[in-house]
Each structure stands twice: as structure tokens, then as C-alpha cells.
């Protein structure tokens, strides 16, 4: 009987509520866009070519504290925002140089 109760409790712990997914999505999006805004405002990308490694800190922090889902969302948002806002030609999802 205890095994069934433990299994049910484990299943309840694994269930994530819709509000948690919304919170994780917002947190991942805001964190990735915040790093993009810092890089863009201080014009760090041309000066420091490997500045995109800052995104890894956000992804790792979210993965260790919130789980896999927000880390994946943050990495996708970080890739898209880095390409759109920082890589020339700006504000397009294309790149002018293949090494970028």
C-alpha cells in the first residue's frame, strides 16, 4: 500500500501546473532579452566576439533552479534575439558572414 501512495505522490510532484509553465516561460524570455539588451546598449558584441557566452550563464542558472523547460526556452530566445538584434544585418534573421 505504501508503494502505491509513494507512486501517487511522485506523480503529483511531477505534474506542473499551467501557471508554472507560464512563469518559467516569462522568466526565461525576460532573462534572455535582458542579456541581449545589455549587450546591445553597451555595444559589446563587436568589441568582444565571444560575448554570447553570457547567455550560457542564464541557461545554466535556469536549468539548475527551474528545470529543463525554461533552460530550453531561454536558449531558443537567446539564439533568436542574438541573431536578430546583434548580428549584421541587424533586424533580420540572416547573416552576412558565414563565420558568425
The string of pLDDT tens digits covering residues 47-57 is: 888 998 999 99
Note the pLDDT tens digit of each residue in 10-50. Answer: 666 666 678 889 999 999 999 999 999 999 999 998 888 89
Cα–Cα distance list, 70 to 31, 52, 59, 73, 85 (Å):
10, 18, 8, 5, 21
Count how many Cα atoms sit within 13 Å of the Cα of residue 29 in the half-sphere of its side chain. Answer: 6
Amino acid at each position: 500500500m505504501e508503494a502505491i501512495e509513494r507512486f501517487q505522490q511522485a506523480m503529483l510532484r511531477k505534474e506542473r501546473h499551467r501557471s508554472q509553465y507560464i512563469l518559467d516561460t516569462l522568466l526565461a524570455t525576460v532573462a534572455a532579452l535582458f542579456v541581449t539588451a545589455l549587450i546591445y546598449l553597451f555595444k559589446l558584441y563587436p568589441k568582444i566576439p565571444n560575448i554570447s557566452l553570457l547567455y550560457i550563464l542564464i541557461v545554466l542558472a535556469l536549468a539548475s533552479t527551474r528545470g529543463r523547460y525554461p533552460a530550453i526556452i531561454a536558449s531558443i530566445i537567446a539564439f533568436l534575439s542574438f541573431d536578430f538584434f546583434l548580428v549584421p544585418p541587424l533586424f533580420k534573421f540572416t547573416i552576412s558572414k558565414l563565420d558568425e
